[in-house]
């Protein structure tokens, strides 16, 4: 009697979970995938769904967000002043879903790889007079962390306030002794959804993948680079990590500050007033149109996915994407295929070796779909290419933290910066083509000759695409 009763209980529990999926409006393909997992993998299927499938935290996370923070007043009149008629629809869309308008008075600096990026970051931190805000998905101890500790101690002694957020999963290796050192010198540091006994299953799925530094509200940094020494010295497996970061000065920094303060309230439940010291200006050096795009699981729409789709659909000449984790949603996949089939020069630049075998196989499972539609794929052999860049038509570029996968679109807190700037777009195009020349282009005939075992592994890995 016990076994039949357990089977009935399992079926009832599984049905209850599926009803929840249907009520919450999950995509049909994802619902079917979870249905398969729950009914074909006893016990483990339910545990996987509890960890990765439910959106139970969505409402709680939304409640924790401090919606009372006043938005910065800087804005561009999209209809008359944006100067980018091609992207007016996208600007309007992003403003409506994020409440963040594009801003015109900005200067941007591209920061390629770790040494260049951290030199600029340390230079900015040394100049801090009022406050430093920073948040990172990965914060690892080492040369960089020790350097930051030294700077923080010196700046706090001069009255600078420092607040820090680190992700509870991405920064799992950060020791309690280092955190104690931070707090001992006066740094306010909080983890985002840390591991806690009894809450592991419900806290695993939603991560803060953002990388943001704000100094005095004057300069901000974001992009793909985490606090990790692997950006300075060779990784034992991947040799060297390549990445792109961005320094922004001007009005857009206020919106990055708004993101940090909202996240700060989530982790600390403490309100912080906006302290931006930037003043409106007509400085000729601040002339770059920038649109900050945040996204998270408690947003009503997948903001960054929508911005990516908009750029893809507006492309007229070329679309170049550098990203280590291209596991596209059905919408992104179809948009890229349609662009390529329409004669747009669509290219993907991906590292030949990845930091995750499962992710690597899943990425490769989409190669056949891309190649059949004319999307060109280049495999970069010189280390791990971790940049998240999209550039199109010499007039727009996106740089930020978001990968092209369901996790970044639906489960992670991310932030990208859209740059409507010809000079920046041309530099990124030139860099992209340079890297393509150093890479191996994957041809369809070569791809078709891969072993049958590889095809089987790819197909199996693709099952996990919705949760990676």
Active-site pick, 167, 393, 405, 435: 393
Mean pLDDT of the chain: 87
Q: Does residue 62 surpass a pLDDT of 80?
A: no
Residue 227 is assigned to a structural domain of this protein = yes
pTM of the model: 0.88
232 in the same domain as 159: yes
pLDDT at 107 over 70: yes
Residue 178 within any structural domain of the chain: yes
**Bridge partners of residue 183, in order along the sequence:** none
Q: Residue 395 domain-assigned?
A: yes
Per-residue model confidence as pLDDT tens digits over 213-262: 999 999 999 999 999 999 988 766 667 899 999 999 999 999 999 999 99
Mean pLDDT to the nearest integer, 370-384: 95
Q: What three-state secondary structure class fits 123?
A: helix
Closest CA to 166 of 202, 213, 131, 119: 213
In-domain check, residue 8? yes
Report yes or no: 350 and 324 within 8 Å, Cβ to Cβ.
Answer: yes
Residue that has been written with the tokens 């439910």 in this structure: 54
Is residue 333 a part of any domain in this protein?
yes
Catalytic residue among 386, 395, 411, 421: 386
Give the model's pLDDT for residue 58.
54
Strand 376-380 to 345-351 pairing: parallel
Per the annotation, the verdict on 245 as an active-site residue is: no
**Domain shared by 155 and 249, yes or no:** yes
Specify if 33 maps to a domain. Answer: yes
Task: Say yes or no to pLDDT of 79 above 60.
Answer: yes
Q: Rounded to an integer, what distance in angstroms lies between the CA atom of residue 25 and that of residue 103? A: 34
pLDDT for the residue numbered 237: 67
Could you tell me the residue range of the domain that residue 336 belongs to? Answer: 303-467
Domain match, 229 and 359 both: no
Q: What is the mean pLDDT of residues 174-190?
A: 97
Q: Which two tokens stand for residue 459?
A: 């197909």
Run of H or E residues at 262: helix 252-268
Here the tokens at position 282 are 């007509």
- pLDDT(341) > 70: yes
Q: Count how many domains the chain has.
A: 3
Residue 57 pLDDT: 45
Distance of CA 401 to the CA centre of its chain: 3
End residue of a domain, out of 290, 319, 345: 290
- Token duo for residue 418: 């859209």
Catalytic residue list contains 271: no
Active site residue 435: no
CATH of the domain at 419: 3.30.870.10
Q: Which of 155, 388, 405, 435 is catalytic?
A: 388
Whether residues 309 and 246 fall in one domain: no
Helix (H) / strand (E) element for 246: namely: strand 244-250
Residues of the chain above pLDDT 90, percent: 66
Active site residue 386: yes
Which of the listed residues 238, 263, 290 is the one where a domain comes to its end? Answer: 290
Give the CA distances from residue 156 to residues 167, 176, 376, 423, in Å, rounded to whole numbers and listed in that order: 23, 21, 50, 38
Q: Which of 216, 395, 421, 435 is catalytic?
A: 216
Same domain, 225 and 254: yes
Residue at 64 is within a domain: no
Q: Are residues 162 and 258 in the same domain?
A: yes
From the candidates 105, 211, 230, 411, give the one annotated as an active-site residue: 211
User: What's the pLDDT at 284?
Assistant: 58
Please check whether residues 262 and 336 belong to one and the same domain.
Answer: no
Per-residue pLDDT reduced to its tens digit, 255-311: 999 999 999 999 998 888 776 555 555 555 788 999 999 999 888 899 999 999 999
278 and 312 fall within a common domain: no
Write down the pLDDT at residue 355.
82
User: Which of 248, 264, 290 marks a domain boundary?
Assistant: 290
> Quick check: is 342 in a domain?
yes
> Is there a single domain that holds both residue 22 and residue 157?
no
128 with 49, same domain: the answer is: no
Whether 216 sits among the annotated catalytic residues: the reply is: yes
> Is 236 tagged catalytic?
no
Same domain assignment for residues 312 and 441: yes
Tokens linked to 306: 């929508």
Cα 81 to chain center, whole Å? 29
Verify that 435 and 354 share a domain, yes or no: yes
């Amino acid at each position: 009697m016990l076994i039949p009763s357990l089977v009935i209980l399992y079926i009832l529990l599984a049905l209850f979970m599926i009803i929840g999926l249907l009520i919450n409006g999950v995509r049909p393909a994802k619902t079917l995938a979870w249905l398969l997992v729950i009914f074909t993998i006893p016990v483990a299927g339910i545990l996987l769904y509890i960890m990765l499938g439910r959106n139970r935290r969505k409402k709680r996370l939304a409640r924790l967000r401090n919606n009372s923070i006043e938005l910065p007043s800087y804005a561009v009149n999209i209809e008359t002043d944006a100067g980018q008629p091609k992207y007016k629809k996208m600007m309007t869309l992003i403003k409506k879903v994020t409440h963040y308008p594009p801003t015109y008075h900005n200067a941007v600096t591209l920061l390629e790889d770790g040494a260049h990026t951290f030199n600029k970051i340390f230079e900015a931190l040394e100049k801090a007079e009022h406050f430093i805000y920073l948040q990172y998905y990965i914060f690892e101890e080492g040369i960089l962390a020790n350097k930051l500790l030294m700077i923080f101690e010196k700046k706090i002694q001069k009255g600078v306030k420092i607040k820090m957020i680190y992700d509870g999963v991405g920064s799992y290796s950060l020791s309690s002794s280092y955190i104690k050192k931070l707090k001992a010198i006066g740094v306010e540091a909080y983890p985002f959804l840390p591991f806690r006994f009894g809450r592991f299953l419900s806290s695993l799925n939603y991560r803060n993948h953002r990388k943001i530094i704000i100094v005095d509200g004057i300069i901000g940094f974001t992009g793909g680079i985490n606090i990790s020494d692997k950006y300075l010295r060779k990784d034992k497996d991947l040799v060297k990590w390549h990445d792109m970061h961005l320094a922004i000065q001007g009005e857009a920094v206020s919106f990055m500050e708004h993101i940090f303060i909202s996240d700060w309230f989530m982790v600390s439940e403490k309100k912080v007033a906006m302290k931006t010291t930037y003043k409106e200006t007509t400085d000729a050096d601040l002339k770059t149109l920038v649109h900050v795009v945040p996204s998270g699981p408690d947003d009503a729409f997948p903001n960054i996915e929508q911005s990516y789709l908009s750029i893809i659909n507006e492309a007229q000449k070329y679309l170049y994407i550098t990203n280590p984790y291209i596991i596209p949603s059905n919408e992104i996949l179809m948009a890229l295929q349609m662009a390529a089939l329409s004669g747009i020069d669509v290219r993907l630049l991906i590292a030949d070796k990845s930091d995750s075998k499962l992710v690597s196989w899943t990425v490769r499972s989409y190669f056949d779909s891309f190649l059949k539609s004319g999307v060109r794929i280049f495999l970069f052999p010189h280390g791990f290419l971790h940049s998240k860049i999209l550039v199109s038509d010499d007039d727009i570029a996106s740089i930020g933290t978001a990968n092209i996968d369901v996790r970044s679109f639906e489960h992670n807190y991310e932030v990208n910066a859209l740059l409507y700037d010809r000079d920046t777009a041309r530099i990124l195009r030139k860099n992209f083509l340079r890297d393509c020349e150093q890479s191996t282009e994957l041809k369809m005939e070569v791809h078709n000759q891969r072993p049958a075992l590889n095809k089987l592994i790819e197909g199996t890995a693709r099952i996990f695409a919705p949760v990676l």
